[in-house]
Structure 1
Amino acid sequence: MNILIVDDNPTNVMLLKHMIARLDECTPICFTDAAKGLAWCEEEKPDLLLVDYMMPDIDGVDFIRRFRKLSHCTDIPVIMITAEESKEVRYLALQAGANDFLNKPIDKTEFIARTNNMIRLRKNQFQLANRAEWLAKGIKRATEELLQREREALLLLSKAAEYRDPETGAHLNRMSHYSRLIARNLGFGEAEQEIMLEASPMHDVGKVGTPDDILLKKGRLTPEEFEVMKQHAICGYNILKQGSSRLMQVAAEIAATHHEKFNGTGYPLGLAGEDIPLRGRIVAVADVFDALTSERPYKKGWPVEQALEFLENERGKHFDPQCIDAFLLSLDEVLEIMNRFQEQ
């Protein structure tokens, strides 16, 4: 424990230093100049302050007041040492932040008792701080475990859709990373980018409710079949909205809105412009670009240049122009993502 002594009288300082040296595990730090003592406190943190009242320039009350204004010294125990019997001085010292008093001439027994009381107070502060830190770490671990289980549940849902839909697989990884990239370039914070990465693979989870003869059909869907296919957006929303977490709610929003078009001709609600949630507009770009550039048993993948030309042609029609700009801003990263997540 570092015990700070501030007293303009060198004899008093030597006496206090001698008595503190007799306490277990206590180191005295002494100043006869109050200004220098305050300067030390700006850089260091004592465990107990012993300060005299009658000092030139800066008296004990003023010292305590300035000491308490230092952010790291607001809870440090303070004992004022004074020969002043005035209650007014004591009231001022208490208002400034003093915890206890010692009268001059100092009685050794009283000094040891009061100082040990303040040291115990300081040790209790350490214990409370350590317990608070331990609890915070425990809560953080528990929260991380819950989030990990939630991510696993989302991943399993994604895999369930993947087994039924021939257009998924590595597509989930690519489009989710494209989505995070677009979100980043639009100014999303790190936490929101991660939510986009983890929620966007859920965009087509509603296809688990689409009949096989429609989902796996090789040729063009009839108008009636396409109406059935479009229900996967609402189906996905209904599955995911039941989750209470933010991640599930974002995934539900994406599932419901990633097929909306900026000009209002999309589905299932026919939303237009900024009425479409931004996350849905982001995933629309990421999903379509990857679908165009991916090779499937029933089609060849488009060259990147052709897919980019399609995005530009659909600017303001299918896609939000600002999402297109955010995507094009990092084409080198887009190509890296394409190469990193290849089809098995």
Structure 2
Amino acid sequence: MSRNPATILIVDDTPENLSVLGELLQPAYRVRAANSGRRALQIALGSPTPDLILLDVMMPDMDGYDVLAELRAAPSTRNIPVIFVTAMDGTDDEERGLDRGAVDYITKPIRPAIVLARIRTQLELKQARDILTNQNAYLEAEVARRMGENQLIQEVSIHALARLAETRDPETGKHLRRTQEYVLTLARALREHPRFAGYLDERTINAIAQSAPLHDIGKVGIPDHILLKPGKLTPEEWEIMKTHSELGSKAIGQAESDADKPVEFLAIAKLIAHSHHEKWDGSGYPDGLAGDHIPIAARLMALADVFDALTCKRVYKSAFSLDDAYGIIVEGSGSHFDPDIVEAFVREYPSFTAIAQSYAE
């Protein structure tokens, strides 16, 4: 199928010049003509958009430099190649035109063979640029599509692993989704806070939320008679139960070491799994970390996990009301939880209640 001829806009305030150029170009191109700068802009901004403009420099009211400036300022016309056509043949004038964005400079009186050759060259260059632009747009769309697929596969894999842990503890239900949403809510609420802004950028927030479901993955290593025990654990059983944080972080660490390059969400998941039972005052486990020595992601998870545990029924306890759980979280500020994270929780409590209701058992 033959391609449509290129559209060339010729601009000159002298009718004779328009006629000469029109007769020269019409056998091979679709020609539009304008006898003023204003009219040229109207045509250029219309449809079809010219593929090339031959622009006279010396025109009344609005000269070629002014026209070129407006063409370059408009998104729809800024990439149209412009060749200046002028009776001026000074080097300074030519440099000025090229500096303003013209692609070539033809002096009058025109020589037909030169004009046609330069037009052909610029149209071929434009066609090549357009092809490259379209290819780049396609490649960017394809990269975005494949990244989206990879992200989906990654998220599905994470939830599959997390649900593997859930199968050992069937009463957790929608715990994964709720805690993930709680963590995301807290992180977004703290992203502008001076203590957290340097860490909680959008990428890290998303990685924290993505990795949150793996916080209790280590429970797969806890024996059933302890994990599923309906009553209170003995001190010895409790010590075994506490090892789930280290079991989880080691498992994630092994997956991390198997990767060819660092995987951000795995690094964060390892921190969360290992340290989400640490307490602000240092009385938590497994390492007795205190204050800012506890990773931020683990501090966020600690509050989310405790709030969800309080508000859910277990074989060994009844569920607390949302408001009672709120009071326990607030009371734990400065002892169990980072005080600034508790303040964020207080501000976002309506969001917490909405999440709890949306993903109720």
TM-score bin, normalised by smaller chain: 0.7 to 0.9
Q: Which residue of 2 aligns with 1:201?
A: 213
1:49 aligned residue: 53
1:147 maps to 2:165? no
Q: Once superposed, what is the RMSD of the aligned Cα atoms?
A: 3.1
Deviation at 1:128?
A: 0.6
Q: 2:223 is matched with which residue: 187, 201, 211?
A: 211
Q: 1:257 aligns with which of 245, 268, 275?
A: 275
Runs of 4+ in 1 over 6 A off after TM superposition: 38-45
Matched with 1:294 is 312
Match of 1:70 among 58, 68, 73: 73
Structure 1 distance, partners of 2:146, 2:323, is 46
SS at match of 1:260: coil
Letter of the aligned partner of 1:197 in structure 2? A
Partner of 1:305: 323
User: Is the alpha carbon distance of 1:280 and 1:71 closer, same or farther for their aligned partners in structure 2, counting shifts above 3 Å?
Assistant: farther
Deviations 1:53-102 (A, max 9, x none): 44468765x45874686374665422121334444543444444432233
Identity of aligned residues (%): 36
For residues 62-211 of structure 1, the aligned pairs below 5 Å read 62-63=65-66, 66=69, 70=73, 72=75, 75-187=79-191, 192-211=204-223
Q: 2:161, 2:214 within 8 Å by CA — same for their partners in 1?
A: yes
Aligned to 2:195: none
SS of 2:172's partner is coil
Residues 51 and 208 (structure 1), Cα distance of their counterparts in 2 relative to 1, 3 Å cut: same
Q: For residues 225 and 41 of structure 1, do their structure 2 counterparts lie closer, same or farther at Cα, with a shift above 3 Å needed?
A: farther
SS class of match (2:286): coil
Match of 2:14 among 9, 15, 40: 9
State the distance in 1 between where 2:28 and 2:162 align: 65
What runs of 5+ residues in structure 2 fail to find an aligned partner?
Answer: 1-5, 192-199, 257-261
In 2, Cα distance between the equivalents of 1:198 and 1:154? 8
Match of 1:225 in 2: 237
Q: Report the alpha carbon displacement of residue 295 of structure 1 after superposing the two structures with TM.
A: 0.9
Aligned letter for 2:156?
E
Q: How many residues align?
A: 340
- State whether structure 2 residue 345 is matched by structure 1 residue 327: yes
CA drift at 1:184: 2.3
SS of 2:32's equivalent in the other structure is strand
Deviation for aligned residue 1:29: 5.6
Aligned-pair CA distance for 1:186: 2.1
Query: Do the aligned partners of residues 310 and 55 (structure 1) sit closer, same or farther apart at CA in structure 2, a change above 3 Å counting?
Result: same
CA separation in 1, counterparts of 2:330 and 2:33? 71
Counterpart mapping for 1:263-282 below 5 A = 263-282=281-300
TM-score by length of structure 1 reads: 0.84
Matched, 1:247 2:265: yes
1:237 alignment partner, one of 221, 244, 249 = 249
Conserved? CA contact 1:13–1:32, under 8 Å: no
How far is 1:117 from its partner? 2.5
In 2: Cα distance, 1:248 partner to 1:135 partner: 28
Partner SS for 2:106: strand
2:259 aligned residue: none
User: What TM-score comes out, normalization by structure 2 length?
Assistant: 0.81
- In structure 1, the gaps of 5 or more residues are none
SS of 1:255's equivalent in the other structure is: helix
The worse-fitting range, judged by mean Cα deviation, of 150-159 and 93-102 is 93-102
Residue in 2 that maps onto 1:337? 355
- Match for 1:201: what amino acid? P
Return the offset for 1:291.
0.5
The DSSP-based 3-state class of the residue aligned with 1:136 is helix
